[in-house]
Amino acid sequence: MSTSVESVLSMPNNTTGTTRFNVSPYLLDCIAVAFVAFAWSAENITLQSLSYLIAALLALWATLSARRLRQYILDTPQSKIASAAQGFVELQGRARFYGDRTTQGFHHGPPCVWHRFAIFGLVSTLIKTGESDLPFIISDESGDCVVNASGAKVLSSSRRDWFEGLTYYRTRYIRHGAQVYVIGELRTNGCDKSFYSEKTELTSVLKSWKNDQAWLLEEFDADNNGELDFEEWEAARKRAEHIAREKYEVKRHDHVETAIRKPSNGMPMLISDKSPAILAKKFLYLSYFNMMVATLCKIALFYGIFT
């Protein structure tokens, strides 16, 4: 009995690897710097010492995390899609849209297979953040593979920021056709589409919209009375039907026979439009930087205690 892409991506992990609590070294950097800034301005010696200690521990954690990611990149073997073994693999190829989709992106941004966005209002007030949840395809000369980016660490070199009135948009994205690098867990699958239906997709789209009432009103409340009348709701439903039809067609025509996803045993999944050599070097330099921060925090802590 064949299985769908969705069922393959939910299969339990049975590959080798050590489960780890993976935290981005960049996030740890930001927190550590915040504690250093607080310690620098603190007048209480106890608070100052405690802040330097926490910053040093976070910087050390970030050092180990960056080194672990670098080693993960260096140790995972590169494979061709058609001949890749089940389990942890490194794939490189061109990114393209999933199924019959011919365009995809965020708002007025460029066509892309993946994006992350943040929307800001007056005085840098954060309005909304999010990222693409649609799969995309990576292709090499041997074949195609569907990429499920859910839970992945995505490092993109492409960025676009713009204003629309008083609203500021900030995006990171991977453009269609870009050379991409993916490391994660590979599974093969069949293509049973019997449980797909356009109605199911429509229900899913409308449910997600109803959960974001603010966006729904902003998008379809033409007379700005705080609620959707019959005609406004019909306009929303027609757009939802169009989106649902697109998603259904994508799934109905999907013939990809391999899928790569975030390992379920806790190992990270990496996606980037940068080469693995550049990424490995980037994480090496990041580990050096964090080691320097940790050392300076220890010196500051020692100086504060004994002076």
> Does residue 234 belong to any structural domain of this protein?
no
139 has which bridge partners?
Answer: 94, 144
Query: What mean pLDDT is reported for the chain?
Result: 79
Domain extent for 290: 5-11+21-193+254-305
pLDDT tens track for 246-284: 877 766 655 546 888 888 777 788 999 988 888 889 889
> Does residue 209 belong to any structural domain of this protein?
no
Q: What total number of domains does the chain contain?
A: 1
pLDDT confidence of residue 40 = 77
> Does residue 225 belong to any structural domain of this protein?
no
Question: Quick check: 75 pLDDT over 50?
Answer: yes
The HSE-up count of residue 63 (CA atoms within 13 Å, CB side) is: 14
Q: What is the pTM of this model?
A: 0.64
pLDDT tens track for 86-116: 788 889 999 998 876 767 777 777 788 998 8
Q: Percent of the chain beyond pLDDT 90?
A: 7
> Does residue 45 belong to any structural domain of this protein?
yes
> Does residue 146 belong to any structural domain of this protein?
yes
CA-closest candidate to residue 98, choices 31, 145, 62: 145
Return the DSSP state at 76: S
Angle, vertex CA 107, rays to CA 270 and CA 128, nearest 5:
70
> Does residue 160 belong to any structural domain of this protein?
yes
